[in-house]
Chains A and B, each alone.
Chain A
Amino acid sequence: MAKDRAVSKEAASNTVLENWLQGVRPYEEVLKELEATKTDYDKDPEFVFRFIRAQIAQDVHRILEERGIKPAELARQMGVDRQWVNNILNESGNLTIKSVARVTCALGCAIGFRIAESGEHIAVLPFHKELAQVSGVEYTQDFQGLEEIRIPPPNIVADIQSETEGRANGELSAA
């Protein structure tokens, strides 16, 4: 009986796979077509807006969860109705910079809005002086023990690293 069950399970599994594979082209063919219509969504304002709104919702969710605060409690603290907080958490309603500032301050958190060159990554990380020294990036002291590190595009990082390694090996530039 158990063997029969195992066989019928296997058969069902095979049917699922056969259906999944049926009438589908090799993926490399599909990828070629997708590559031809590849879109840089980070350059699409609507995508960027939706992503920022979603990431803010994620951050607020995370902080509330870590602190064990319910959305209703936050709403009470802020003197707004619960729907206002839910709109941020559910990515609905009109999200303004002012409402982001309000919720950030109510949580006693910090937020950074920066506009960077395409390919330049900005990361606000906990203080890692060693990392900054090793990779040769510039760093500036920021608020509440956080460190803002401006990371140049990858090729520049590679140049800096090879230069740093060269120095460590005793190779000095002409200058």
Chain B
Amino acid sequence: MTHALIEFVPIPDVKPEWETAHEIRFLSINGVSRVIENLQKFKKAWPDDYRDLLVSIKIVAENPQVRGSKRVKRCKGCESILEMKGKALRLFFFYAKNGTDIVVCTGTYRKGKGLDKKQQQNAIAAAEKLRTLCRRETGV
């Protein structure tokens, strides 16, 4: 994939007035995005957890730096990727600059029974590879 069309797209439930410190965007490659696809599924299947994830998103949007590990955590073994936390839902992201400070959401994950560590690690590894691709293609 040498010439991917990379876009950073706003999430409908994230209000622009929240974005005082960071703009929250999901990553799209060639017009598709697994992030927004999964967020829509999460909203339908686990509305309460999705609401909790949105609290974390609003905290990231409104605060220049998020402290503590309740809302945002760096991923183990991959310092450049962070995760916003709901109860079981996770949204992987990285900080970037694209004129303004933005947060690029690259992947999702749901913790739960039957899901092993390996799957989580794969999701983090994918997020890191997508970050590398974004940097290479867009320079953010």
Interface residues of A (CB under 8 A from B): 12-14, 16-17, 19-21, 24-28, 30-31, 33-35, 37-42, 44, 46-47, 50-51, 54-55, 57-58, 61-62, 65, 89-91, 121
Interface residues of B in 1-57 (CB under 8 A from A): 1, 4, 9, 12-13, 15, 17, 26, 28-34, 36-37, 39-40, 43, 51-52, 54-56
Interface size on B, residues (CB 8 A): 42
| B63 adjacent to A31 (CB under 8 Å) | no
Bound CA–CA A57/B107 (angstroms)? 26
Stretch in B74-82, B109-117, B129-137 touching the partner: B129-137
7 new A-B contacts, CB < 8 A, other than A31-B36, A50-B55, A58-B71, are A16-B126, A17-B4, A30-B36, A39-B13, A57-B70, A62-B65, A90-B70
| A38 adjacent to B13 (CB under 8 Å) | yes
Q: Which residues of B contact A12 (CB under 8 A)?
A: 129
Bound CA–CA A20/B33 (angstroms)? 8
| A44 adjacent to B133 (CB under 8 Å) | no
Interface residues of B (CB under 8 A from A): 1, 4, 9, 12-13, 15, 17, 26, 28-34, 36-37, 39-40, 43, 51-52, 54-56, 58-59, 62-63, 65-68, 70-71, 107, 125-126, 129-130, 132-133
